[in-house]
Amino acid sequence: MSNLNREADKRETFSSGLAVFFATLSSAVGLGNIWKFPYMVGENGGGAFILIYLVCVFLVGMPVAISEFFIGRKTRSNAVDAFEKLKPGSSWKFVGYLGGITSFFVMLFYSTVGGWVYRYTFKALSMDFKSVGSMSIEDASLFVSSEFGNVVSSPVAPILWQIAFTGVVALIIFAGVKNGIEKVTKTLMPVLLVLIVLCAARSLTLEGAREGIDFLFTADFSAITPGVLLAALGLAFFKLSLGMGTMITYGSYFTKDNNMSATSAKVAISDIAVSMLAGLAIFPVVFTFGLEPGEGPGLLFNTIPLVFSRIPFGNVLIVAFFLLASIAATTAMTSMMAVPVSILNEKFKLNKGLSVLIVAGIVSAIGALTVHPSSLLGHIQLFGKSFFDLYDFLASNIFMPVGGLLTVVFVGWFVKKVLLFDELSNGGTVKNQAYLKAYGFLVKFVTPLLLIFIFLSSIGILSM
- The reported pLDDT for the residue numbered 148 is 85
pLDDT at 4 exceeding the cut of 90: no
**Calpha distance 328→321 (Å, rounded):** 10
Q: What is d(CA 305, CA 286) in angstroms, rounded to the nearest whole number? A: 12
Identify the pLDDT of residue 89.
Answer: 92
Q: Is the pLDDT of residue 342 over 50?
A: yes
State the pLDDT confidence band at 444, using cuts at 50, 70 and 90: very high
* Greater pLDDT, 439 or 39: 439
Contacts of 62 by beta carbon, 8 Å cutoff, 6+ apart:
264, 265, 268
Of the two residues 19 and 291, the one the predictor is more confident about is 291
64 CA to centre of own chain: 14
Q: Among 106, 119, 137, 103, which Cα is nearest to 36's?
A: 106
Of the pLDDT bands very low, low, confident and very high (cuts 50, 70, 90), residue 122 is very high
Lowest-pLDDT choice from 26-30, 105-109, 209-213: 26-30
> pLDDT (tens digit, 9 = 90+) per residue, 389-403?
888 888 887 898 899
Angle, alpha carbons 86-415-455 (nearest 5°): 105
Domain boundaries of the chain, sorted by first residue: 2-458
More confident residue, 70 or 137: 70
Question: What local confidence, expressed as pLDDT, does residue 372 receive?
Answer: 54
Q: How far apart are CA 234 and CA 226, in angstroms?
A: 12
Cβ atoms of 96 and 79 within 8 Å: the answer is yes
Yes or no: say if 73 and 419 are a contact pair by the CB < 8 Å rule.
no
Q: Does residue 421 register a pLDDT over 80? A: yes
Q: Could you give the percent of the chain with pLDDT greater than 70?
A: 90
pLDDT at 162: 92
Average of per-residue pLDDT values in the chain? 85
288 phi/psi in degrees, rounded to 5 = -70, -40
141: nearest Cα among 27, 302, 345, 17: 302
Task: Give the pLDDT confidence score for residue 207 in this predicted structure.
Answer: 87
Question: Which of 18-22, 334-338, 452-456 is predicted with the least confidence, judged by mean pLDDT?
Answer: 18-22
Task: Read off the pLDDT of residues 368-396 as tens digits, 9 standing for 90 and up.
Answer: 777 655 555 556 676 677 788 888 888 88
Q: What is the pLDDT of residue 182?
A: 67
**In the prediction, which pLDDT does 200 show?**
86
- C-beta separation of 23 from 250 below 8 A: yes
**Best CA proximity match to 159, nearest among 419, 387, 325, 340:** 387
* Residues in CB range of 225: below 8 A, 6 or more apart: 464
pLDDT (tens digit, 9 = 90+) per residue, 177-195? 666 666 767 777 777 778 7
pLDDT score at 27: 66
The percent of residues above 90 in pLDDT, for the chain, comes to 38
Calpha distance 112→151 (Å, rounded):
11
pLDDT band at 464 (very low <50, low <70, confident <90, very high): low
Confidence class of residue 1 from pLDDT cuts 50, 70 and 90?
Answer: very low
Secondary structure (H, E, C), the chain = CHHHHHHHHHCCCCCCHHHHHHHHHHHHCCHHHHHHHHHHHHHCCCHHHHHHHHHHHHHHHHHHHHHHHHHHHHHCCCHHHHHHHHCCCCCCHHHHHHHHHHHHHHHHHHHHHHHHHHHHHHHHHCCCCCCHHHCCHHHHHHHHHHHHHHHHHCCCHHHHHHHHHHHHHHHHHHHCHHHHHHHHHHHHHHHHHHHHHHHHHHHCCCCCHHHHHHHHHCCCHHHCCHHHHHHHHHHHHHHCCCCCCHHHHHHCCCCCCCCHHHHHHHHHHHHHHHHHHHHHHHHHHHHHCCCCCCCCCCHHHHHHHHHHCCCCCHHHHHHHHHHHHHHHHHHHHHHHHHHHHHHHHHHCCCCHHHHHHHHHHHHHHHHHHHCCCCCCCCCCEECCEEHHHHHHHHHHHHHHHHHHHHHHHHHHHHCCHHHHHHHHCCCCCCCCHHHHHHHHHHHHHHHHHHHHHHHHHHCCCCCC
- Which residue did the predictor score with more confidence, 174 or 223? 174
Q: What is the pTM of this model?
A: 0.87
User: pLDDT of 239-248, one tens digit each?
Assistant: 888 999 999 9
Range 2-458 has CATH code 1.20.1740: yes
If you average pLDDT over residues 166-173, what whole number do you get? Answer: 92
Instruction: Report the amino acid identity of residue 429.
Output: T
pLDDT of 202 over the 50 cut: yes
